[in-house]
């Protein structure tokens, strides 16, 4: 029986980080150099260019966790998962476990190069993080150019029949003006978009003046242009969903103003094989393939006990380190 806590929460979704390096430098995710006010790579050298676990290790780890937890979803993430040469071998290796959904979160920068291999590897859907469709705003946030390359990647994935959703972190005074253009972009491709509230992680953790743009703020902007109704929330869902009169749906992931800790089912593993039961916990629990199932179950119980009861508190580790 999968481990459960007293609130009946159990792990059903595994977010597995394949690398802690990235080819973008998003201002809310990458460490910030206080002198230059620019984001930069992780201070310590990236643990390795990719996971310290080999693809056979990763495949074994996923298989064992699926046996213990009956996973419903595996999400491959990072850092930027498309930078990892383990991605495609891992995808092929985990097919045999029969996990119902194998998803990926990516910045999309390399999607046009890898979409075909992802499709062949059996990916079931992809979330692309896209915070702006205006080139200058995109560049201000990601510290990179080439927005068009990402858009080409999204279009190719859709052409290949891979379901795509968009994720956009909205920040006050930085990209709130992108909310409507992003919705129009999503509508033009008939794909769902989810807006994320900024989370106080990494260098934002103890900062008092984070440019948070709340769920209520986002809804106010959308209401100036569209009519929509709230949909019932699905159990363990990260996003609250709304539907417009033309059936287009959008979501808001409101970690700060509408946390979903009470039925959270997510387990994270970073690219060194450390497990985290909660984004608000920066206590790593090392998983070792040489340990027996009862040792893993004990560790899974400990990770579950790290989950918050009510609200997200943030963490000194950023998403790029824990795995987003
Ligand atoms: N590099 C990939 C990408 O950007 O999609 C995968 C990893 S990234 C850490 C996963 C998600 O975390 C992205 O959608 C990103 O926008 C989000 N993210 C990172 N730091 C965040 C923060 N402080 N607040 C809200 N979302 C954050
Ligand atoms: Fe890279 Fe994703 Fe973090 Fe942006 S959010 S810096 S793309 S890991």
Question: Per-residue confidence of the chain (324 residues) as pLDDT tens digits?
Answer: 888 988 889 999 999 999 988 999 999 998 766 566 666 654 454 455 556 789 999 999 999 999 999 999 999 999 999 999 999 999 999 999 999 999 999 999 999 999 999 999 999 999 999 999 999 999 999 999 889 999 999 999 999 999 999 999 999 999 999 999 999 999 999 999 999 999 999 989 988 889 999 999 999 999 999 999 999 988 888 899 999 999 999 999 998 888 888 889 999 999 989 999 998 888 899 998 899 999 999 999 999 999 988 788 888 889 998 888
User: How high is the pLDDT of residue 78?
Assistant: 93
Cα-Cα-Cα-Cα dihedral sign, residues 39, 44, 45, 47: negative
Q: Is residue 179 lining ligand 1, measured as CB closer than 6 Å?
A: no
State the Cα angle at 209 between 203 and 215, rounded to 5°. Answer: 95
Q: Under 8 Å CB-to-CB from 44, ≥6 apart: which residues?
A: none
Residue listed under structure tokens 């379901």: 163
What is the Å distance from ligand 1's center to 77 Cα?
Answer: 9
Which is the closest atom of ligand 2 to the Cα of 169? 5
What pLDDT shows up at residue 7? 87
| Residue among 126, 167, 320, 322 to mutate when testing ligand 2 (max atoms within 8 A of CB) | 320
- Ligand 1: does its nearest atom lie under 6 Å from the Cβ of 274? no
- Please identify, by atom number, the ligand 2 atom nearest to the C-alpha of residue 79: 8
169 lines ligand 1 (CB under 6 A): yes
Give me the pLDDT at residue 45, please.
47
**Cβ burial, residue 155 (10 Å; 0-12/13-18/19+):** middle
pTM of the model: 0.94
Nearest CA to ligand 1 atom 2: 106
Residue with CA nearest ligand 1 atom 1: 80
Closest listed residue to residue 17, CA positions, set 69, 62, 56: 62
Closest ligand 1 atom, CA of 24? Answer: 1
**pLDDT in the model for residue 50:** 59
Å from CA of 238 to ligand 2 middle: 19
Ligand 1 contact via 39 beta carbon (within 6 Å): no
Closest C-alpha to 271, from 257, 253, 255, 284: 284
């Amino acid at each position: 029986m999968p481990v459960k806590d007293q609130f009946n929460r159990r792990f059903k979704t595994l977010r597995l980080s394949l690398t802690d390096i990235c080819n973008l430098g998003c201002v809310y995710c990458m460490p910030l150099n206080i002198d230059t006010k620019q984001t930069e790579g992780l201070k310590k050298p990236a643990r390795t260019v990719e996971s310290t676990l080999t693809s056979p290790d990763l495949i074994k780890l996923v298989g064992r966790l699926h046996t213990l937890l009956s996973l419903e979803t595996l999400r491959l993430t990072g850092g930027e998962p498309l930078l990892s040469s383990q991605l495609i071998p891992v995808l092929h290796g985990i097919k045999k476990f029969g996990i119902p959904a194998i998803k990926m979160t990516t910045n999309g920068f390399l999607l046009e190069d890898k979409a075909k291999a992802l499709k062949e590897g059996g990916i079931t859907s992809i979330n692309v993080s896209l915070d702006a469709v205006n080139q200058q705003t995109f560049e201000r946030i990601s510290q990179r150019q080439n927005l068009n390359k990402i858009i080409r990647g999204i279009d190719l994935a859709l052409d290949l029949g891979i379901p795509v959703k968009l994720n956009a972190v909205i920040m006050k005074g930085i990209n709130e003006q992108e909310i409507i253009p992003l919705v129009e972009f999503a509508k033009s491709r008939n794909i769902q978009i989810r807006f994320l509230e900024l989370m106080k992680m990494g260098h934002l953790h103890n900062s008092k003046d984070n440019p948070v743009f709340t769920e209520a703020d986002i809804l106010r902007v959308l209401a100036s242009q569209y009519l929509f109704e709230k949909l019932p929330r699905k159990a363990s869902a990260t996003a609250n969903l709304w539907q417009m009169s033309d059936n287009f749906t959008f979501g808001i992931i409101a970690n700060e103003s509408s946390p979903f800790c009470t039925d959270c089912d997510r387990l994270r593993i970073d690219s060194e094989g450390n497990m985290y039961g909660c984004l608000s916990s920066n206590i790593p629990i090392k998983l070792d393939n040489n340990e027996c199932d009862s040792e893993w179950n004990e560790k899974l119980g400990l990770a579950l006990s790290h989950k918050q009861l009510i609200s997200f508190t943030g963490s000194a580790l950023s998403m790029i380190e824990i795995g987003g």
